[in-house]
Structure 1
Amino acid sequence: MKLKWSSIIHKNVFLIKLISALLITVFAFRLFIFHSNEFSPFFASVTGKFEAQFLPPKVLVPENEDLIPQDIEVEKCDLFSGKWIPDSLGPIYTNNSCGPFIDGHQNCITNGRPDSDFLYWKWKPHDCLLPRFDPRRFLQLMRHKSWAIIGDSISRNHVESLLCMLSTVEEPVEVYHDKEYKSKRWHFPLHNLTISNIWSPFLVQAAIFEDSNGVSTAAVQLHLDKLDKTWTSLIPSLDYAIISTGKWFLKSTVYHENAKPVGCHNCPEKYHLEELGFEYAYNATLRNVMDFIAEEANSKCTVFFRTSTPDHFQNGEWHSGGTCKQKEPVSDDEEIELKDVHKILRNVEIGQFERVVKEKMSEDGGSLKLLDFTGMLLTRPDGHPGAYRQFRPFDKDKNAKVQNDCLHWCLPGPIDYLNDVILETIVTG
């Protein structure tokens, strides 16, 4: 009896082991198939056999842009040709989060601008996607680099925009300013990145006589053949520079060449000089600027020349009651044209850039690049401070007459998207 019972137990154990082995085999096979489908989809070949095709591995972008694999295919297009489309995400910073870096005249929301729809648009090139500005990636790519944004108050406007976006990842430390606080420098210690704002509104040597509101007491004395050493002395130490100028050339100015007055624009009677016009001075200045970049700037520094940005004054100008009350970008079915003065400025800019590339540089411009933002910003008449360049201008009198700013840009605002384009330009080469 004991022997018979033992035999039955032995048979049951064998059966249990056999079933368990079969179950384990089936489970293992299904597990293998499941994971294979994750990384190795199978495709039938023309011979009837099955061949595994592995998906390409994910590419991790290193901190140093110079180490980005060269075989990655990146879609390229004209980043400056496109339109503004609705963007529900809005800006990556706020007027509150970036208050310390925003000039009071550009802090539109804090100053009481009642509408906020102008914050919910983004720039979309016609033929490709433009990645959203990634401040963390910018800081990683720019580790141990030095930047300078050189020019007038629009350049300062741009620097503040860039600082606001980067400060969402790391807070910059101001390490330098000049006596008038017009030129400044900031340092991002965790990434060893420096960003400078260099005040040089004409890019050439100039004696300027005006107050903080732009009211002149005398004509500007401009030396067309002498570049401003404030910025030229910095170029050899920089990795990247953005240079621009423009609207300052419309001021009443006496022009000097070879240390002698040669003419003027809006000539003061007492000088008895020939009216040469601002186009003459702008051509001469940009010729010298472009030649300097081509001949003197070292290969280390990539220089971006930014075209001048248009204003949107209507029914007057800066000091003559001009306003800009639009609350949306220009739509596709609307027409907007550059003012004649802006056409002249841009024609000179494009002409001098193309000349120096043809005469003195490689076909693609080498270390000199063009940032043609004129058309992009032309369609954003809603992005200016307008009456809200001052703090709550209508609190005491809702019908008060106040000076409008239809030249600079609210922060946050459309000028932020210059940084999207610039980062993409650097990444794609």
Structure 2
Amino acid sequence: MSSPLSSSVSSPSVSPPPPPPLPSSSSSSSNDVNNSTVAITRSDKKCDIFKGEWVPNPDAPYYTNTTCGFIPDQQNCMKFGRPDTAFLKWRWKPNGCDLPIFNPAHFLDLVRGKSMAFVGDSVGRNQMQSLICLLSRVDHPIDISNTTDDRFKTWLYANYNFTLASFWSPFLVKTKEPDPNNNHPVGLLNLYLDEFDEKWTAQIDRFNYVIISAGHWFFRPVMFYEGGHVVGCSICQHKNITDLTTYYGSRKAFQTAFRAINGHDRFNGTTFLRTFSPAHFENGPWNRGGYCMRTRPFRSNESRQEWFYRELYKTQVEEFRIAKEEGRKRDVRFRLLDSTEAMSMRPDGHPNRYGHSQHVRVGNDCVHWCLPGPIDTWNDMLLEMMRMDGGRSSDEKYSSRELRTR
């Protein structure tokens, strides 16, 4: 089956990566957060699919940059000459059970007649691109977008009446470019922490599943507004404005995003929070020679998250818990797709300098993920969570032999 998707699909430039590590603090690690878990039952045992190790998988990858035409250049590591391929040969193994490899036929059957939206930044769009590539073993979508803006795309799997969409909202809340008439530092975005970003909040009633994610953009200089007035800033170094920190802005933004979902009268779908995906810059930040050249995963006892990543993760999970409790009162479902620990162990999976021609001089990308690559595991997790909600065994209907003959 030929793909209608062009291999030259453009993508906006990468999100600004976080700053270099700051002095350590006593903030709790991700392991200290008693987050929601997804239990897989195997022989009457349950386990948390988000805790585990990366183990060899000789059968991977399940698509390539020649079989999937949706991979943008920024994540097309093979196209631009990445010399090693061992980073492709791993799968996530939870402690005490197995996480099934993504089964595209099963996924498309579960979402038949339904719709799914990815809301957030370019890392969230990275997951959607992975999903389309994983589904390409079974079917290809058609572009039904009502805009030429690649940040807002809608795809239809006509054979399954399944709609897939992406909404660009890197802060999840309303933003504006700075007013040149205000005496604010140049380049600061205005972030309205208590106002909905209606580009996505006004449309979520169209979707059965909404996957929310954000994080890296909060590490850039921003001005915070609440109630229409400046209340502070982050990384602005303005002597007359209070520095309220990155985590203040992140927490408030997630509060507002979750309030939009819980307060929407017509939305009765399921919201997934995909937790923060750490970057892996070494030798400095992205614009000062930072790189990510490792070729194998960390073990769980090797990986280490910088304190500012742990703090951002912690605020997300805390606000998720509050929203989930509120959602129970309104019969709105929230699920936590906790990818942070698994991805903190994959310093080998980023494009680094293989997301562009070697003749182009740009910073290394240690934020996004090669396709194929470790990010495909997010969709393994997503399908397992949907399967658990649906109450069907992933082995019940779709065998590997059937999949190969499709």
TM-score when scaled to structure 2?
0.80
| 1:408 alignment partner in structure 2 | 368
Aligned to 1:114: 83
Cα drift, residue 132 of structure 1: 1.4
Query: How many residues end up aligned between the 2 structures?
Result: 342
Once residues 108 and 171 of structure 2 are traced to their aligned partners in structure 1, the CA distance between those partners, rounded to angstroms, is 30
Instruction: Confirm or deny: 8 A CA contact 2:269 2:332 kept in the other structure.
Output: no
Which segment drifts farther, 281-290 or 319-328? 281-290
1:330 to partner: Cα distance: 0.6
Cα displacement string for residues 109-148 of structure 1 (whole angstroms, at most 9, x for unaligned residues):
1110000000000011112121111101111111111010
Alignment of 1:9-408 (within 5 A): 76-98=46-68, 100-176=69-145, 178-208=147-177, 218-267=187-236, 269=238, 272-296=240-264, 298=266, 300-331=268-299, 334-361=301-328, 367-393=333-359, 403-408=363-368
Q: Is the contact between residue 278 and residue 309 of structure 2 (CA under 8 Å) also seen in structure 1?
A: yes
Higher helix share: 1
- 1:74 shift after superposition: 8.1
Cα RMSD over matched residues?
2.3
Q: Secondary structure at the match of 1:381?
A: coil
Cα gap change, 1:351 to 1:135, in 2 (>3 Å): same
Counterpart residue type for residue 161 of structure 1 = S
Unaligned runs of 5+ in 1: 1-71, 210-215, 395-400
Q: Is the 8 A contact 1:142 1:193 kept in 2?
A: yes
Partner of 2:392: none
Q: What is the TM-score with the length of structure 1 in the denominator? A: 0.75
1:418 and 1:204 map into 2 onto residues whose CA distance is 24
Q: Alpha-carbon deviation of 1:234?
A: 1.6
Identity of aligned residues (%): 38
Q: In structure 2, do the counterparts of structure 1 residues 217 and 164 end up closer, same or farther at CA, with 3 Å as the change threshold?
A: farther
- 1:424 is matched with which residue? 384
Report the CA distance between 1:292 and its aligned residue. 2.5
Indicate if the aligned counterparts of 1:135 and 1:165 stay in contact, CA closer than 8 A: yes
CA distance in 1: counterparts of 2:138 and 2:382, whole angstroms: 18
Deviation, structure 1 residue 239: 0.6
* Greater shift in the superposed pair: 284-293 or 166-175: 284-293
Confirm or deny: 8 A CA contact 1:299 1:367 kept in the other structure: no
What do the CA deviations read for 1:354-373 (whole angstroms, capped 9, x no partner)?
2233455269x951111110
Quote the offset at 1:298 in angstroms: 4.6
Query: Residues 205 and 344 (structure 1 numbering): CA distance in 2 closer, same or farther, change over 3 Å?
Result: same
Shift of 1:279: 1.3
3-state secondary structure, aligned to 2:244: coil
Query: What CA distance in whole angstroms lies between the structure 2 residues aligned with 1:75 and 1:337?
Result: 29
Q: Which one scores higher on RCO, CA 8 angstroms, separation ≥ 6?
A: 2
Once the two structures are TM-superposed, the CA of residue 320 in structure 1 deviates from its matched residue by 1.6
Following superposition, the deviation at residue 290 of structure 1 comes to: 2.0
**Alpha-carbon contact 2:327-2:333 (below 8 Å) kept:** no
Which moved further from structure 2: 281-290 or 381-390?
A: 281-290
In 2 relative to 1, CA 235–282 (structure 1 residues): closer, same or farther, beyond 3 Å? same
Amino acid at match of 2:307: D
Query: Contact 1:325/1:386 (CA < 8 Å) preserved in 2?
Result: yes
Cα displacement string for residues 7-44 of structure 1 (whole angstroms, at most 9, x for unaligned residues): xxxxxxxxxxxxxxxxxxxxxxxxxxxxxxxxxxxxxx
Provide Cα deviations, 1:289-322, integer angstroms capped at 9, x if missing partner: 2223233265631110111100000111121211
- Whichever residue aligns with residue 380 of structure 1, its letter is R
Whether the 8 Å CA contact 2:116–2:208 is kept in 1: the answer is yes
The structural deviation recorded for 1:286 is 1.2
Structure 1 pair 135–74 and aligned structure 2 pair: CA distance change class (3 A): farther
Secondary structure of the corresponding residue to residue 115 of structure 1: coil
Choose 286-295 or 84-93, whichever is displaced more: 286-295
Q: 1-side partners of 2:47 and 2:261: how far apart?
A: 26
Change (3 A) 1:178 1:272: farther
Any unmatched runs of 5+ in structure 2? 1-41, 179-184, 390-406
Aligned-pair CA distance for 1:217: 5.9
Distance 1:409 1:356 in 2: 29
Q: In the TM superposition, what is the alpha-carbon distance from 1:393 to its structure 2 partner?
A: 4.9
Q: Is the 8 A contact 2:262 2:332 kept in 1?
A: no
Q: Is the 8 A contact 1:76 1:428 kept in 2?
A: no
Cα–Cα, structure 1 residues 87 and 393, in superposed 2: closer, same or farther, change >3 Å?
A: farther
**Aligned-pair distance for 1:409?**
0.1
> In terms of Rg, which structure is larger?
1
One-letter amino acid of the structure 2 residue matched with residue 357 of structure 1: K
